[in-house]
Amino acid sequence: MKHELVDGLELPRIGFGTWGIGGTSSPDRASDKKSLAALRSALDLGYRHFDTAEMYAAGHAEELLGQAIREAAVQREQVFLTSKALPEHLRYADLLRACERSLHRLRVDYLDLYLIHWPNPDIPLADSFRALNQLVEEGRVRRIGVSNFDLDLLEEARQLAATPIFTNQAPFSLRDRSYAQNGVLQYCQDNGILLTAYTPFEAGGLQIHANLASIARTHAATPHQIALAWLLAQPRVITIPMSHDPGHQQENLAAADIELSLAEMTQLN
């Protein structure tokens, strides 16, 4: 597994997203067995970077992720945990409480990374970063970042953060290049910020065109693996695919080892 080093902190370039674990916008406890099986197989395969949020299954995804890690007897220090705060919880006191609830559900003492999930134009960003900076100072959070921030907001966040912005999570895939076109990707690369690509398979809608299929055959890989390899070939880009299927989980991990040629990158670009 390849790793990325940012601000003295190392994390795997392919993580495991948990949207759909334990439900979607609300808990679906009938799916707990399937969700725990997915988390357990991911841990068994060697995933050590997990992304979750208080929004996912209204916090139940955090509960299940914490349970799976404890049952796997994996040392806390070996797992990179990210969670995110809802936009309605971005006022100073609300954000502090939201973080405590996430820590409680995960049953951990700290988060490796804590993000603003979506910006909220009704709450001053300075208020949110006062809380984020305090969480870092208190050791509840090791690094802070944002998600779905455009260039102007990302610049403002950098000015308000007492420690470097670690990442901006954004949709980024072969078909969705909006965060490259709006200047955010280049800004992240120029300023040592990770762009964490979510929905790398376009929410299940990956279009397998002729170039993609041909390159996949050349590498004895799947088109989905090539889509991940294309993302990871961009400097300062990591990604967090999710799958319930152990075979697909293994394929996603293996994609980090695929080296695309300049000609193949040109075709995909």
The answer to whether the beta carbons of residues 52 and 62 sit under 8 Å apart is yes
d(CA 256, CA 249): 12
d(CA 1, CA 14): 8
Whether 56 sits among the annotated catalytic residues: the reply is yes
Eight-state DSSP code of residue 239: E
The structure tokens listed for 261 are 């040629």
Element (DSSP H or E) covering residue 165: strand 165-171
Do the bridges between strand 49-51 and strand 16-17 make them parallel or antiparallel, or are there none, so unpaired? parallel
d(CA 25, CA 55): 7
Of 47, 56, 179, 198, which one is the catalytic site residue? 56
Q: Would you please indicate which residues are annotated as catalytic (active-site) residues? A: 56
